[in-house]
Amino acid sequence: MKIRSLKRFDGKCVRITEVGGDVFEGNCDHFSAEFSAHEYGPDEEGLKLGNYLFHKYSIARIEVLKDRGGPWGKFSGPYGTLELETASDADLYEDMLDSEDNEHVLRLLRCLNALFEHGDRPVFKSEGRLVYKKNGPNGSDSDEPFVPDAAWRAEAIDVVRKAIKYMDDPEIRAEAEKIVKRAEE
């Protein structure tokens, strides 16, 4: 499927399948080729989901998600690849927790909460691929698989404790408090 313009997806909840096969779901903002060239480098339009940029050349497929009436609304689950990738880097999830997009914040908190139960073993995306730490150049993947070990848990708890003071939404605050309570047990 040839994608002509991404502008029509601006402000919508979408599922993006990258050329490499990873699938991301989220609310997106469109950016023009001119803006991209100035801010990010590539002279090509794209979409931003959370902290992630998807330039047109990297998108194999895109679809608008509609509310299915299930527990996760428009999304296929409580969290997805976007949140797993974000959770692998404290700077990324700290930025996401500061976001005004309540759906993304809630999904990230659900993901962080699940990762506390995951244990000290590598994390896999739903497509069966490993999630890698984001400590390569410019926040790129490193060669090291992401493992939510004790050091990661301590840092995640610290970030959530700092962010919780600014959380007004009761559902978001409750999810954040689950993480903090777990740390205190």
Query: Is-contact 27 11, C-beta < 8 A?
Result: yes
Question: What tens digit of pLDDT does each residue of 62-96 get?
Answer: 999 998 888 888 999 999 999 999 998 888 888 88
CA distance 141 to 150: 21
Question: What tens digit of pLDDT does each residue of 143-156 get?
Answer: 789 999 999 999 99
Note the pLDDT of residue 112: 93
Where along the chain do its domains lie? Answer: 7-64, 81-184
Q: Averaged over 5-12, what is the pLDDT?
A: 93
Question: 7-64 has which fold?
Answer: SH3 type barrels. (2.30.30)
Burial (CB count within 10 angstroms: exposed 0-12, middle 13-18, buried 19+), residue 131: buried
Q: Residue 22 corresponds to which tokens in the numbers above?
A: 């990873």
Q: Residue 43 corresponds to which tokens in the numbers above?
A: 């002279």
CA distance 25 to 17: 9
* pTM exceeding the 0.85 threshold for the entire prediction: yes
